[in-house]
Amino acid sequence: MKKWYAVIGDPISHSLSPFMHDHWFEKHGIDASYIPVHVEPKQLEQAFRSMKLLGISGFNITLPHKQAAIPLLDELDDTARIMNAVNTVAAENGRLKGFNTDGDGFVRSLLSYPVDKERALLVIGAGGAARGISFALSRAGFSNITITNRTFRRAQELADETGSKAVVLAEAEANLSEFATIVQTTSVGLTEEALPLSLTHLGSGSVVADIIYNPLETPFLKEAKAKGCLVLNGVGMFVNQGAIAFEKWTGIRPDTEEMIQLITEKLGGNHVNR
Protein backbone atom coordinates (compact mmCIF):
# COMPACT_ATOMS: atom_id res chain seq x y z
CA MET A 1 0.00 0.00 0.00
CA LYS A 2 1.29 3.44 -0.92
CA LYS A 3 2.48 5.46 2.07
CA TRP A 4 1.99 9.17 2.47
CA TYR A 5 3.86 11.84 4.37
CA ALA A 6 3.34 15.57 4.83
CA VAL A 7 4.62 18.85 6.15
CA ILE A 8 2.23 21.06 8.12
CA GLY A 9 2.60 24.77 8.78
CA ASP A 10 1.10 28.22 8.38
CA PRO A 11 2.08 29.35 5.76
CA ILE A 12 3.29 26.29 3.86
CA SER A 13 3.17 26.97 0.10
CA HIS A 14 6.84 28.07 0.10
CA SER A 15 8.13 24.78 1.54
CA LEU A 16 10.77 22.87 -0.41
CA SER A 17 10.28 19.75 1.72
CA PRO A 18 7.92 18.08 -0.81
CA PHE A 19 10.50 18.52 -3.59
CA MET A 20 13.22 17.04 -1.37
CA HIS A 21 11.37 14.04 0.03
CA ASP A 22 9.62 13.08 -3.21
CA HIS A 23 13.02 13.08 -4.92
CA TRP A 24 14.40 10.74 -2.26
CA PHE A 25 11.34 8.44 -2.39
CA GLU A 26 11.71 8.12 -6.16
CA LYS A 27 15.46 7.62 -6.00
CA HIS A 28 15.14 4.77 -3.50
CA GLY A 29 12.14 3.14 -5.18
CA ILE A 30 9.79 3.82 -2.29
CA ASP A 31 6.09 3.92 -3.16
CA ALA A 32 5.21 7.05 -1.20
CA SER A 33 4.27 10.69 -1.63
CA TYR A 34 4.83 13.81 0.44
CA ILE A 35 2.40 16.74 0.46
CA PRO A 36 2.25 20.23 1.98
CA VAL A 37 -0.77 20.78 4.26
CA HIS A 38 -1.79 24.26 5.30
CA VAL A 39 -2.86 24.07 8.96
CA GLU A 40 -3.87 27.17 10.90
CA PRO A 41 -3.24 27.13 14.67
CA LYS A 42 -6.93 26.68 15.48
CA GLN A 43 -7.02 23.61 13.18
CA LEU A 44 -4.01 21.82 14.67
CA GLU A 45 -5.79 19.31 16.89
CA GLN A 46 -8.27 18.45 14.14
CA ALA A 47 -5.41 18.05 11.65
CA PHE A 48 -3.66 15.55 13.93
CA ARG A 49 -6.84 13.49 14.31
CA SER A 50 -7.41 13.52 10.54
CA MET A 51 -3.84 12.47 9.70
CA LYS A 52 -4.01 9.56 12.13
CA LEU A 53 -7.40 8.51 10.75
CA LEU A 54 -6.10 8.63 7.18
CA GLY A 55 -3.08 6.48 8.04
CA ILE A 56 -0.20 8.91 7.62
CA SER A 57 3.25 7.32 8.01
CA GLY A 58 5.07 10.45 9.16
CA PHE A 59 5.15 14.20 8.86
CA ASN A 60 7.20 17.31 9.44
CA ILE A 61 6.08 20.31 11.46
CA THR A 62 7.15 23.85 10.71
CA LEU A 63 6.21 27.26 12.07
CA PRO A 64 4.17 28.08 14.06
CA HIS A 65 3.33 24.58 15.36
CA LYS A 66 6.61 23.17 16.70
CA GLN A 67 5.68 23.65 20.36
CA ALA A 68 1.88 23.59 20.15
CA ALA A 69 2.02 20.08 18.66
CA ILE A 70 3.68 18.52 21.70
CA PRO A 71 0.51 17.81 23.76
CA LEU A 72 -1.02 16.11 20.71
CA LEU A 73 1.73 13.46 20.49
CA ASP A 74 1.77 10.06 22.15
CA GLU A 75 5.53 10.08 22.76
CA LEU A 76 8.56 12.38 22.60
CA ASP A 77 12.18 11.45 22.12
CA ASP A 78 14.73 12.94 24.53
CA THR A 79 15.96 15.61 22.11
CA ALA A 80 12.47 16.96 21.44
CA ARG A 81 11.70 16.93 25.17
CA ILE A 82 14.85 18.91 26.03
CA MET A 83 14.26 21.40 23.23
CA ASN A 84 10.52 21.62 23.89
CA ALA A 85 9.92 21.63 20.14
CA VAL A 86 9.08 19.03 17.49
CA ASN A 87 9.73 19.16 13.76
CA THR A 88 9.43 15.47 12.82
CA VAL A 89 6.77 12.89 13.66
CA ALA A 90 6.82 9.15 13.00
CA ALA A 91 3.55 7.21 13.01
CA GLU A 92 3.59 3.56 14.05
CA ASN A 93 0.63 1.40 15.01
CA GLY A 94 -1.58 4.43 15.46
CA ARG A 95 0.87 6.20 17.78
CA LEU A 96 2.67 9.44 17.01
CA LYS A 97 6.25 9.96 18.22
CA GLY A 98 7.86 13.38 18.00
CA PHE A 99 11.50 14.20 17.28
CA ASN A 100 13.56 17.32 16.73
CA THR A 101 16.11 17.02 13.91
CA ASP A 102 16.86 20.74 13.46
CA GLY A 103 19.87 21.00 15.75
CA ASP A 104 21.51 17.78 14.57
CA GLY A 105 20.82 18.83 10.98
CA PHE A 106 22.74 22.04 11.56
CA VAL A 107 25.66 20.25 13.22
CA ARG A 108 25.96 17.77 10.32
CA SER A 109 26.09 20.72 7.96
CA LEU A 110 28.63 22.64 10.03
CA LEU A 111 30.95 19.63 10.34
CA SER A 112 31.40 19.64 6.57
CA TYR A 113 33.55 22.72 7.21
CA PRO A 114 36.97 22.86 8.94
CA VAL A 115 35.76 23.68 12.46
CA ASP A 116 37.64 23.05 15.70
CA LYS A 117 35.26 21.91 18.45
CA GLU A 118 37.51 23.29 21.19
CA ARG A 119 37.81 26.83 19.83
CA ALA A 120 35.38 29.61 20.72
CA LEU A 121 31.98 29.48 19.01
CA LEU A 122 29.36 32.25 19.15
CA VAL A 123 25.62 31.64 18.77
CA ILE A 124 23.65 34.78 17.89
CA GLY A 125 20.06 34.53 19.09
CA ALA A 126 18.21 32.77 21.89
CA GLY A 127 14.97 31.61 20.25
CA GLY A 128 13.82 28.14 19.30
CA ALA A 129 16.42 27.65 16.57
CA ALA A 130 19.26 28.80 18.84
CA ARG A 131 18.01 26.45 21.54
CA GLY A 132 18.03 23.41 19.27
CA ILE A 133 21.40 24.28 17.76
CA SER A 134 23.04 25.04 21.13
CA PHE A 135 21.98 21.70 22.62
CA ALA A 136 23.09 19.84 19.49
CA LEU A 137 26.48 21.58 19.42
CA SER A 138 27.03 20.69 23.06
CA ARG A 139 26.09 17.05 22.46
CA ALA A 140 28.43 16.96 19.46
CA GLY A 141 31.39 17.96 21.65
CA PHE A 142 31.71 21.71 21.11
CA SER A 143 33.10 22.80 24.45
CA ASN A 144 33.47 26.59 24.22
CA ILE A 145 30.05 28.03 23.32
CA THR A 146 28.98 31.62 23.96
CA ILE A 147 25.44 32.91 23.40
CA THR A 148 24.46 36.50 22.71
CA ASN A 149 21.08 38.07 22.11
CA ARG A 150 19.44 41.49 22.00
CA THR A 151 17.63 40.56 25.21
CA PHE A 152 20.46 39.43 27.46
CA ARG A 153 18.16 37.68 29.93
CA ARG A 154 17.12 35.17 27.25
CA ALA A 155 20.74 34.54 26.30
CA GLN A 156 21.60 33.91 29.96
CA GLU A 157 18.68 31.50 30.40
CA LEU A 158 19.73 29.46 27.36
CA ALA A 159 23.39 29.52 28.44
CA ASP A 160 22.42 28.22 31.88
CA GLU A 161 20.45 25.36 30.32
CA THR A 162 23.21 24.34 27.94
CA GLY A 163 26.22 24.90 30.18
CA SER A 164 27.43 27.75 27.96
CA LYS A 165 28.42 31.38 28.53
CA ALA A 166 26.32 34.45 27.78
CA VAL A 167 27.46 37.95 26.83
CA VAL A 168 25.62 41.14 25.95
CA LEU A 169 25.50 42.04 22.27
CA ALA A 170 27.97 44.93 22.56
CA GLU A 171 30.57 42.68 24.20
CA ALA A 172 30.14 40.04 21.47
CA GLU A 173 30.61 42.71 18.78
CA ALA A 174 33.76 44.10 20.43
CA ASN A 175 35.34 40.64 20.77
CA LEU A 176 34.14 39.09 17.53
CA SER A 177 37.67 38.28 16.35
CA GLU A 178 38.02 35.80 19.24
CA PHE A 179 35.40 33.45 17.78
CA ALA A 180 36.55 30.82 15.30
CA THR A 181 32.94 29.95 14.44
CA ILE A 182 29.88 32.22 14.44
CA VAL A 183 26.33 30.92 14.06
CA GLN A 184 23.52 33.35 13.20
CA THR A 185 20.11 31.91 14.22
CA THR A 186 17.80 34.94 14.13
CA SER A 187 15.44 36.04 11.34
CA VAL A 188 17.41 39.26 10.77
CA GLY A 189 18.33 39.43 7.10
CA LEU A 190 15.47 37.21 5.99
CA THR A 191 13.45 40.02 4.44
CA GLU A 192 15.56 43.13 4.97
CA GLU A 193 19.12 44.38 4.47
CA ALA A 194 20.11 44.22 8.12
CA LEU A 195 22.67 42.60 10.40
CA PRO A 196 22.03 41.02 13.83
CA LEU A 197 25.25 42.65 15.08
CA SER A 198 28.13 44.69 13.72
CA LEU A 199 30.87 42.70 11.94
CA THR A 200 33.46 45.47 12.25
CA HIS A 201 35.73 43.32 14.45
CA LEU A 202 35.20 40.04 12.60
CA GLY A 203 38.48 38.24 11.95
CA SER A 204 39.28 36.71 8.55
CA GLY A 205 39.36 32.93 8.44
CA SER A 206 36.42 32.38 10.78
CA VAL A 207 33.60 30.04 9.78
CA VAL A 208 30.39 32.09 9.65
CA ALA A 209 27.02 30.34 9.35
CA ASP A 210 23.51 31.70 8.88
CA ILE A 211 20.57 29.30 9.20
CA ILE A 212 18.53 31.32 6.67
CA TYR A 213 18.56 29.62 3.25
CA ASN A 214 16.39 31.94 1.19
CA PRO A 215 18.04 34.27 0.29
CA LEU A 216 21.06 32.04 -0.18
CA GLU A 217 23.40 34.87 0.79
CA THR A 218 22.09 37.12 3.53
CA PRO A 219 23.67 40.54 4.20
CA PHE A 220 25.38 38.86 7.18
CA LEU A 221 27.07 36.23 5.00
CA LYS A 222 27.86 38.75 2.26
CA GLU A 223 29.81 40.95 4.66
CA ALA A 224 31.51 37.97 6.31
CA LYS A 225 32.66 36.67 2.91
CA ALA A 226 34.03 40.12 2.04
CA LYS A 227 36.11 39.94 5.23
CA GLY A 228 37.72 36.67 4.15
CA CYS A 229 35.59 34.21 6.12
CA LEU A 230 34.25 30.81 5.10
CA VAL A 231 30.47 31.15 4.91
CA LEU A 232 27.73 28.56 5.29
CA ASN A 233 24.09 29.26 4.49
CA GLY A 234 21.05 27.36 5.79
CA VAL A 235 20.60 24.98 2.85
CA GLY A 236 22.80 22.33 4.49
CA MET A 237 20.84 22.52 7.74
CA PHE A 238 17.54 22.28 5.87
CA VAL A 239 18.66 19.27 3.85
CA ASN A 240 20.30 17.46 6.76
CA GLN A 241 17.37 17.88 9.13
CA GLY A 242 15.18 16.45 6.34
CA ALA A 243 17.61 13.59 5.80
CA ILE A 244 17.48 12.64 9.48
CA ALA A 245 13.67 12.64 9.31
CA PHE A 246 13.76 10.51 6.13
CA GLU A 247 16.10 8.07 7.87
CA LYS A 248 13.75 7.77 10.86
CA TRP A 249 10.83 7.01 8.52
CA THR A 250 12.53 4.63 6.10
CA GLY A 251 15.80 3.43 7.64
CA ILE A 252 17.64 4.87 4.61
CA ARG A 253 20.23 7.66 4.79
CA PRO A 254 19.77 9.70 1.59
CA ASP A 255 22.37 11.58 -0.44
CA THR A 256 22.57 15.04 1.14
CA GLU A 257 25.31 16.47 -1.07
CA GLU A 258 23.26 15.95 -4.21
CA MET A 259 20.20 17.49 -2.55
CA ILE A 260 22.15 20.53 -1.33
CA GLN A 261 23.17 21.09 -4.95
CA LEU A 262 19.58 20.66 -6.21
CA ILE A 263 18.06 22.98 -3.59
CA THR A 264 20.76 25.59 -4.19
CA GLU A 265 20.09 25.52 -7.93
CA LYS A 266 16.34 25.70 -7.31
CA LEU A 267 16.89 28.86 -5.27
CA GLY A 268 18.93 30.37 -8.07
CA GLY A 269 22.44 29.85 -6.77
CA ASN A 270 25.55 27.78 -7.31
CA HIS A 271 27.08 25.35 -4.84
CA VAL A 272 29.64 25.62 -3.22
CA ASN A 273 28.97 28.94 -1.47
CA ARG A 274 32.20 29.14 0.52
Cβ atoms of residues 107 and 241 within 8 Å: no
Q: Look up 66 and say whether it is catalytic.
A: yes
Cβ atoms of residues 57 and 91 within 8 Å: yes
Query: What separation in angstroms does the CA of 114 have from each of 31, 57, 236?
Result: 38, 37, 15
β-partners of residue 166 are 147
* Helix, strand, or coil (residue 40): coil
Cβ partners under 8 Å of residue 75, min gap 6:
95, 96, 97, 98
What CA–CA distance (Å, rounded) separates 46 from 15?
22
Cβ atoms of residues 21 and 263 within 8 Å: no
Catalytic residue among 3, 27, 42, 66: 66
Question: Which residues belong to the active site?
Answer: 66
